[in-house]
Amino acid sequence: MTVNDLIEKLDLEVLNLAEGDREITGGYVGDLLSWVMGKAESGDMWVTIMTNVNVVAVASLVDVACVVIADKAEITPDVIEKARAQGINLLRSAKSAYRLCNEQILL
Amino acid sequence: MSEPIRFHFDVDGDNFSSAGEASVQVKRMLRQIGIPAEVIRRVSVAMYEGEINMVIHADGGNADVVVEPGKIIIILADRGPGIADIELAMTEGYSTAPENVRSLGFGAGMGLPNMKRYTDDMKIESVVGEGTTVTMTVLF
Ligand SMILES: Nc1ncnc2c1ncn2[C@@H]1O[C@H](COP(=O)(O)OP(=O)(O)O)[C@@H](O)[C@H]1O
Ligand SMILES: [Mg+2]
């Protein structure tokens, strides 16, 4: 499944789309950045409610396929700008992390 | 690639938002010179954790990266407060990070353990009141 598929099927809000064709090969949920760096894998859909600018750096270093902000957590324009600059797929939804994962796994 | 390639960065101590800039830049440069993706990930995550530590715990410092054939060395040096008990600091979950840092998703006490796990060798030299130097080596 690609990031484009995910956006369409889960009806996600697109904050930045850098590489819609990127294949999603797994997933990880977490807000503590060291845990994400220790456990998430390249190609994952990373679901989080963290929205500060460090999320973009972690997403880049871990090489996740996309970041999905759950629960429509508030995000500032500078973070979206950073995602654009670093080529990170940044998406958002009003759904909870639980529901997002449930829906993704059923695709 | 026989001559070592060296990168040097000053890590700003009071800018939390730009913390990680050096690691992201290193990632980009390693990709340009054709280092395997899995190696880049290990190097850049280990370096990022170290960089963040210098920002949170030591008011900044310096980062040096040396790329040799089959080997990448990361040296992070600061003039912060030092680490009194390195074994304790290495314990998963141990953190002295303040609340404002925790609210950003840091301070889980998993940084040093991650750095050790992602590298083939990690050495911490620290003198209380003088500073800390972390040297990490990734083989590939
Ligand atoms: N460069 C440093 N200078 C001083 N103390 C440090 C440094 N790096 C780590 N520490 C100490 O080691 C502890 C554990 O570090 P770490 O595992 O990265 O967890 P965290 O950064 O989440 O607190 C820190 O809370 C801090 O007390
Ligand atoms: Mg840390």
Please state the ipTM of this predicted complex.
0.91
Name the residue with tokens 């950073």: A82
DSSP B69: T
For residue B14 the two structure tokens come to: 């009071």
Residue of B nearest to A31 (CA): B105
For residue A13 the two structure tokens come to: 């809000």
Q: What is the pLDDT of residue B17?
A: 75
Contacts of residue A15, defined as CB under 8 A and 6 or more positions apart, other chains included, come to A69, A75, A80, A83, A90, A91, A92
- For B28-58, write each residue's pLDDT tens digit: 999 999 999 999 999 999 999 999 999 999 9
Residue stretches of chain A with pLDDT short of 50: none
Question: Which residue has the CA at smallest separation from atom 23 of ligand 1?
Answer: B95
- For B77-90, write each residue's pLDDT tens digit: 999 999 999 999 99
Residue B1 has pLDDT above 70, yes or no: no
Best of A28, A31, A37, A74 to mutate (most B CBs within 10 Å, chain B): A37
Pairing between β-strand B61-68 and β-strand B5-11 as defined by DSSP bridges = antiparallel
Mean pLDDT of chain A: 97
Looking at all shown ligands, the one closest to residue B91's CA atom is 1
Phi, psi of A105, deg, nearest 5: -70, -25
Q: How far apart are CA A28 and CA A42, in angstroms?
A: 10
Subunit contact B105:A32, Cβ cutoff 8 A: yes
CA distance B24 to chain A (A): 7
Q: What is the pLDDT of residue B20?
A: 87
Q: How far apart are CA A46 and CA A56, in angstroms?
A: 11
% of chain B with per-residue pLDDT over 90: 91
Domains of chain A: 3-106 (3.40.1390.20)
Nearest atom within ligand 1 for CA of residue B111: 18
Subunit contact B108:A63, Cβ cutoff 8 A: no
CA distance A52 to chain B (A): 7
Domains of chain B: 5-139 (3.30.565.10)
Pairing between β-strand B61-68 and β-strand B131-139 as defined by DSSP bridges = unpaired
